[in-house]
Amino acid sequence: MPLSTRRDATPDPYAWLEQRDRDEVISHLNAENSHTEQWLSTHNDQRARLFEEIRGRIRETDLSLPAVWGAWLYYQRTEAGAEYPRSYRCPRPQDGSLETDTAHEELLLDMNELAGDGFLQLGDFAVSPDHQWLAYSLDRQGDEVYCLYLKHLASGNISELPLDQADGSLVWANDSVTLFAISMDEASRPATLWRLQLGTPPVRVYHEADQRFYLHAYRSSSEQWLILASDSKNTSEVRVVPADQPAADWQLLSRRCNGHEYHVDHGPHGLLIRSNDRGENFALYRTDPCHPLRPHWELLIDVDPQRTLEHFSVQQHGLLLHYRDAGLTRLEVHPLDGEAYQVSMPDAVYSLHVQGGEEYTSESIRLRYESLNRPAQVRALQLASGTQTILKQTPVEGHFDPEDYEVRREWATAADGTRIPISLVGRTTALAAPAPLYLYGYGAYGASMDPWFSHARLSLLDRGWVFAIAHVRGGADMGEAWYQQGKLQHKTNTFDDFISCAEHLIDNQYTDSTRLVIAGGSAGGLLIGNVINQRPELFAAAVADVPFVDVWNTMNNPSLPLTIGEYEEWGDPNEPEVAERIRSYAPYEQVREQAYPAMFVTSGYHDMRVQYWEAAKWVAKLRHSKTDDRPLLLRTQMSAGHGGASGRYQSMKELAEEYSFLLAVIGKH
């Protein structure tokens, strides 16, 4: 009997692929992997060459910028040949510098030793406030189920903490004895908060019964409060407890009200609350932690109709507001003493966010800044003066000059007249005439696709390719309204925007349909699957990583992990009009007899977010229906999950494989 629960009698001929661990399913996936291997090996296979190129640009032996905390510097070191970084600490220099003392450093965690030859993902890495204990979590399969460990740093003794189905998060109370952790329910939803102490059974603190809501616990920036957030896709409920009193009752700030989203932190102003109760662009409140309930909230900064308050960061000496404005992150600093000011950055298109590493009491805060042609920099921003200092820049080994690559911002016009931003990078010669172009898109969950630098991408750019990001609706690239206009009943805007971006790039002679590659992963894979059903002639090739393409069957099967929580993003298919809408754009359902672009599809056998069978069923249906002889390859990572391989060299090999496919089907400029 098929595992898919369907709302009609239409048979699903590939539902048998949902029967995990059956011999026939494993054989099918292995056969697809063998086909992929055979095709690549006989079609100008450049995987080894590309891997060495990518590896050659990475500084394999390197030291991270140390984080400052108490009497210690905490940092990671990567070494040539090692898949994972090793974590260390050393005494903090008396002169206030960030120089590490290798003669007195302590090895805290060696992921290479723990991983062996298998998959290994580090979930959380949490040092106790007294610096005597390290709590950490490990996923050894890729299914995002973690085992929890506690290491006594003086003796090196390691104990496993007893909590089944842990989501991997770990939060210390200030007594350095009590830990909080979260376990998942049968649907892989973070649902129950536990209080843990070594040698005693876990104590259940709070259970979230509503399957739309996920739990998340964290320490406040001031380290004075512990915060428990219960969030659905559009509604929040937050509780706090003093970090010095972990057994006390958690205090509620505002009872959940459908559509009210809020986020909480603590600093010198008291509890700070970012809330959308005055408008979708969010306002900022403050309240006394002793009286946190909503009637006591005081408006600190009102809603700005022109830009969205995406986030805020707080330290003892100042408050940073993170605004989304015209497709970019703009930081506004409010020093504790002094006038507010805007943080200026050197490029017109960039990615910018606050990075941890400084103590709450520090007079500066660290920013991470990068662009499509500029590798990431960590900058220290002096809160009082606004002065910026580059602390570390990610190196690119070999010959590299960011000025060799030009960054541009284009604007496409969607069918409804909305202007859609596109970020591009390429060598000037490639931007001057139609060239092979790699167009990336996502467009879901309010996730903004800010421009990022990639060492691997240089292998395409140096071969005359152009890389572009379509900032389509469904993400929050242009603010909260941008997200709202690309979800639920407005979901088709995401697909239409992407097609408009592709047409704009062709019309403006950046590329043509014989050299245009499109790519997306997870919910971005849904985007790719939809647009190649709609306009297959527009694209030469498509890459779909762990694609959410069987959205119709998944949303109709509430027994699958995380499905019910997705209703607020896609809609509840128990409502007839919603069911019709989802089915109308679901990629798997809409596969038809027509020619399709060349395709490279990936999946992870242990993926709990997008089940492996979504890609497998989709590829099987495409093979049966498509009328062309272009390549269609499926690569299933049999020992990985949603994020693919866990080691850094394995990740490079995955990219080299994708690029080898693209160069074989598209070629050089």
Q: Is-catalytic flag, 642?
A: yes
CB 666 within 8 A of CB 517: yes
CB 195 within 8 A of CB 177: no
Q: What strands, in cross-sheet order, belong to the sheet with 190-196? A: 121-127, 133-139, 146-152, 158-172, 179-184, 190-196, 203-207
Q: Is-catalytic flag, 175?
A: no
Integer Cα distance of 193 and 228 in angstroms: 9
Query: Which entry of 607, 646, 660, 669 is annotated as an active-site residue?
Result: 607
Integer Cα distance of 490 and 484 in angstroms: 8
Integer Cα distance of 510 and 427 in angstroms: 12
Residues β-bridged to residue 309? 323
B/e letters for 5-27, b = 16+ CB within 10 Å, e = fewer, are eeeeeeebebbbbbeeeeeebee
CB 303 within 8 A of CB 279: yes
Residues β-bridged to residue 351? 370
Q: Which long-range contacts (CB under 8 A, 24 or more apart) does 19-24 make?
A: 20/612, 20/613
Query: Which entry of 220, 522, 603, 646 is annotated as an active-site residue?
Result: 522
CA nearest to 636, candidates 209, 14, 35, 203? 35
Pairing assessment for the beta strands 419-427 and 388-393 based on DSSP bridges: unpaired
Question: Residues for the chain: how many in total?
Answer: 669
Residue where the block lists tokens 């408050």: 319
Within 10 A of 274 (CB to CB), how many other CB atoms are there?
Answer: 22
- The set of residues, in sequence order, having a beta carbon less than 8 Å from that of 308 and lying 6+ positions away, is 280, 281, 282, 323, 324, 325, 476, 479, 480, 481
Q: Is-catalytic flag, 334?
A: no
CB 322 within 8 A of CB 310: yes
Integer Cα distance of 17 and 19 in angstroms: 5
Integer Cα distance of 149 and 93 in angstroms: 30
* Cα 40–Cα 41–Cα 46 angle in degrees, nearest 5: 75
CA 353 to chain centre: 14
Query: Which entry of 642, 646, 660, 669 is annotated as an active-site residue?
Result: 642
**Residue 257: both structure tokens together:** 């009200």
Catalytic residues: 522, 607, 642
